[in-house]
Amino acid sequence: MLKKIFIFVFILSLFVLPAFVSAESVNFNSNSYTNYSEEQLVSLIAKLQKQLEEVRKSSVACVVSSRDLSVGDGFEDDLRSDVKSLQGFLYEKGFLSKKQDGLFGKNTKAALIAFQAANNLVQTGELNSETRNKIKSMTCRKSYSVDSSKINKKENSDDNYSKVKSISLSANGSAVKWSADGYSKNGFKIVWSKNSNPTYPTREGDKYIYLSESNANTTNLDAFSGSGTYYVKVCEYLGGSCGVYSNQIQVSL
């Protein structure tokens, strides 16, 4: 059994990883694992499989487009697949809610402006080099490695979750700012609504912005349901759901 597991790990390092990672770097030396126990090799396989899954998730977003895109692209040219990839990224990040059709129209422009505003970029509504570099920094992986010195260490179940004790939220006009006591590795969700206690996943009438950076602390809101008073909260994002929420505030938009 132990021999079979080692052979599997060796084959994984030679063929499977290069196929998915391509130009990425995987630091794996099969000779260094010859003295590992069956339990250690099983742990190693789990780590490698987790890394492969991360590569799969980031591979599409990492190649959104290498070309500038703006309103009108995708209609009568060869840019439809590029636009569709951009729309897929904006949809995944919560800035675009409609179906991806590969046509750069007013909804895609508005979503791109919202993304640029949330990430302190010039709000051109176009996919330019500055915006592409920002998307790349958020989605592309530089390297994948397995640290064999940590294989025997028991995984802490809390490692998959953020460690935020509290979040304090305030506003200045349409700009909201927060301070987190702790670290949210998946970033933050900002949810707002004309209904009290907006949440994520959202209810009908709620809207959200997702900022994936763990150090994010400010963004601007829009009056998506007409002018008036909106209730706002920020939460630590755990991937699919929220953890700790901030205090609720009211803003006039």
Q: What is the pLDDT of residue 33?
A: 56
Q: What is the pLDDT of residue 130?
A: 92
Q: What is the pLDDT of residue 26?
A: 42
CA distances from 60 to 82, 85, 95, 128, 220 (A): 11, 7, 17, 18, 28
Q: What is the pLDDT of residue 159?
A: 44
Task: Tell me the pLDDT tens digit for each residue of 53-82.
Answer: 665 554 444 657 788 899 999 887 888 888
90-99, long-range: CB < 8 A, 24+ apart:
90/115, 92/61, 93/210, 93/212, 94/189, 94/208, 94/209, 94/210, 95/209, 95/210
pLDDT in tens, the chain (253 residues): 555 555 555 555 544 444 444 434 444 455 555 666 677 777 778 777 777 666 555 444 465 778 889 999 988 788 888 899 899 889 888 898 876 788 999 999 999 999 999 999 999 999 998 998 898 888 775 444 455 454 444 444 444 455 899 999 999 999 999 999 999 888 999 999 999 999 998 888 999 999 999 899 999 999 999 999 999 999 999 887 898 999 999 999 9
Q: What is the pLDDT of residue 50?
A: 74
Q: What is the pLDDT of residue 156?
A: 43
Tokens of 162: 């953020």
Q: What is the pLDDT of residue 195?
A: 94
CATH number listed for the domain at residues 62-139: 1.10.101.10
Global pTM value = 0.41
Instruction: Tell me which architecture the domain covering 161-252 has in CATH.
Output: Sandwich (2.60)
Whose tokens are 């422009």? That residue is 109
Region of 187 please: left (phi>0), alpha (psi -120 to 50) or beta: left
CA distances from 96 to 57, 79, 112 (A): 19, 19, 8
Q: Show me where the domains of the chain are located.
A: 2-59, 62-139, 161-252
